[in-house]
Every structure is written in structure tokens, then in C-alpha cells.
Amino acid sequence: MNFFEELKWRGLINDITSPEVEDVINNQKVTFYIGTDPTADSLHIGHYSSLLMAKRLEQHGHHPIMLVGGATGFIGDPKATGERNMLTPEVLKHNFDCLHEQISKLWGFEMVNNLDWTKDMTVIDFLRDFGKFFNVNYMLNKETVKKRLDSGISYTEFSYMILQSLDFLTLYQTKNCVMQIGGQDQWGNITSGLELIRKKCGADVKCYGLTMPLITKADGTKFGKSESGTVWLDPAKTSPYELYQFLFNTEDAKVIEYLKKLTFLSVEEITKLEESLKNEPHKRLAQKALAQEVVRDLHGQEELDSALKITDALFRGNLQNLEAKERLSAVKNMDKIECNADLNLVDFLIQTKIASSKREAREWINGNSISVNGEKIKDVNYIVSLDKAYIENYILIKRGKKNNYCVILK
């Protein structure tokens, strides 16, 4: 299969603006751009597929430009659910700086800020030079806007389409950027940008657009900053261990899709993992490959090794072998129980509701079924105190082989 066919096989092509896009991607070397607004101080897993798409195109000889929207971030791309909260200039500046550093470190793309070409523009300039080219009826027919007509949409968010179109025009004029790529929810903005370029620069201009399907969870909801349980690409917000566990726990129904979209594994390698998923799902080889590839690509082999070490320690109970940073990662995403310190182990198990009675608690302790921080405890008078915490004020209790508890000592 050729390059474009592989992108389709990976599920990375949703819409293209003309059949010529396939030839452009396969046989030409063009400059294209992808954009994101600084509405948070880190990208998340929902962005990752799009950024890998840019990297795939770069590896095939195309030149990517990453636009971080210092201007459009002030406005907010319309959501189907309602108006966005306005961010302050200080927050946007902080977010922009964080994203700039993150993207530069991870991918090294050329980066631009649309605030550079909009900050000195007057309202009259905006309306005369650009707003004049946008028909309101045309804008109302765009999918995202149509979804908001019943609930209402402000003029501010309605005008976002014009600002993003101006981005495409500016990059075409200044950097010979002839293609924009984005998620499928960006189709209306991308096609509006193409229309603006043709109206300002001539109908014979060759520019293109491509959208990718949004990556979704098994229940059909998308990954996003406003969704619960956001998985961030910043290791300070989502540790490599947490990312590993999140991906390792991917449902069978989604893991092959994620392997295609979120890794550089070859067609042959993914096909073998798909066969393993079908014939020996209990081995979870597809999930292991997904977690390892993404964590290694994002955070490096050392952080992957650490994530694997934490995983193994929790599974085998070798908790004392972890360093302080690894211990914090291990407890961070565990469900927590609060309990007073300085209790004997029997009373501790009762207060945390791990055991339902003192008799049950004693039986477990005497039967060698209770571990504290990975060590078996057979003394019913053992005192659970802060000086015995696993890390900070956390203590880990294990009952039997599978029941793990993280307790915050007060």
C-alpha cells in the first residue's frame, strides 16, 4: 500500500477537500499546518493522534508548522455544549509558553503564534479586509455553528471561523503553506480558510485540507480537557506510570484502533498483535505494546522502565524496591481511604472497613493474609503509625493476592 493508503488503514483520514490531496500526500513535498489553542498548559492524549499525523507527514518529506493560537485562545472555538469560559491574558500567556516548550521538546516542529498577525489589527480592518468575504448564511450552515443555534451562540465565538481562516491565509502568503490538517470537528474552519484564500488570492490557487477522526473512548466520548479523567502528555500532570496503566487497561474493542493511530508500529506488527488479541486475549500483548510504545515515544526508555518497575512491584508486592518518586507515582492513582494513625492493626482494618469485624481481622492477620507496604504482618498488636508510612502519609495494605488499599493517615 502507498503512504496515503496506510494513513487510511490506520483510520487517520476522515475528509479531504479534493481528490488531489492523495497525490499531494503521496508524491509532493508541501508545507502544512496544524493548530491548537492554549486553553490548558499541556496537550492531552486526544491531541496525540493529530501530532503523530504531523510527524508521519514530516517523515514522508512534508514540512509541518505548529500553530499555537495566542489570538484564537482569547475567543474559543465553539463547542456543541455551550460557550467557553474566557481565559485571562496571564493564563493564556502561561499556557502558550508551556505548550511551546512541550511541543518543541517532543516534536521540534516549526512554531507560530497567530497573535503576531492579529494583535495590531483594528476592528475596521478585520471587518473590511476579511469579514466582507464571509456570508452569514454560509457560516450558519457549518456543523458546529448549527448545533448551537437552538441554545444560542455569541458573536465572539461565531467569529472564530474568520480568525482561523485568516491563519490559513497568512501562512499561505508568508510561508507557502498549502494544507491544513485537523480533527473532524475542524472541517468547517478548514474549508472556510480555503474559501478565503481563493477569494483573496485567486480561484486557481492550489490549497488543501484534511481532517482526521477524533479519537474516542469505548463509550464514544472524546478525550478532551473538559472531560473527566484527562490524560495529559505532561509527565508532571499524568505520570508515565499512570499513562502506562491507562493504556494497558484499554478495552479489547479499542486497542487495535489505538495501536494504529498512536504508534509507529508497522502494518505487519499491528496485524500480528490483532491476531494475538483474537486468539489469546488473556495475554494482553496488544495492550502491552500500546502502553510501551506510547510511553517510550513520549517520555523515553528510562521512564518506561520506571513504569514497568512500578507495575511489577505492585503486582508482586516488592514495594520496598521503589524509589521515592516511583512510590508517589504508585499511590497517585489508587483509590484512597482516610484513617487515624497510631491504631493497632486490628482496629485499623476495622476503621478502614477492610475487615468487617475484629474476629475477621485477627483471622486474616494470623493467617498471613495481611501485608503492610509489601511486608507480611502477623502481629495483631502491630501499630500503624506515620513513621511506618510508605511515602509521605500514605500506607499500603494488601489482603490476599488481589485486594490492595491505599490509606491516608491522619
- Torsion over CA: 21, 26, 30, 33 (sign): positive
- Torsion over CA: 241, 243, 246, 247 (sign): negative
Classify strands 394-399 and 370-372 as parallel, antiparallel or unpaired. antiparallel
- Backbone dihedral region for residue 48 (phi beyond 0: left; psi -120 to 50: alpha; all else: beta): alpha
- Backbone dihedral region for residue 395 (phi beyond 0: left; psi -120 to 50: alpha; all else: beta): beta
Instruction: Please tell me the distance from the alpha carbon of residue 400 to that of residue 385, in angstroms, as a whole number.
Output: 22
Grid cell 496537550 is found at 43
Instruction: Please tell me the distance from the alpha carbon of residue 310 to that of residue 319, in angstroms, as a whole number.
Output: 8
Where helices occur in 239-337 by DSSP H, the ranges are 240-248, 252-262, 267-279, 285-299, 301-316, 324-332
What is the DSSP annotation of 332-364?
Answer: HTS-EEEE-SSEEHHHHHHHTTSSSSHHHHHHH
Which residue from 363, 360, 381, 370 is spatially nearest to 407, judged by alpha carbons? 370
Q: Which triple of cell numbers denotes residue 205?
A: 490557487
Residue 33, annotated ligand binder?
A: yes
Distance of CA 130 to the CA centre of its chain: 34
Which residue from 53, 51, 36, 46 is spatially nearest to 99, judged by alpha carbons? 36
Could you tell me which residues are annotated as the binding site for L-tyrosine?
Answer: 33, 160, 164
Could you tell me which residues are annotated as the binding site?
Answer: 33, 160, 164, 225
Could you tell me which residues are annotated as the binding site for ATP?
Answer: 225
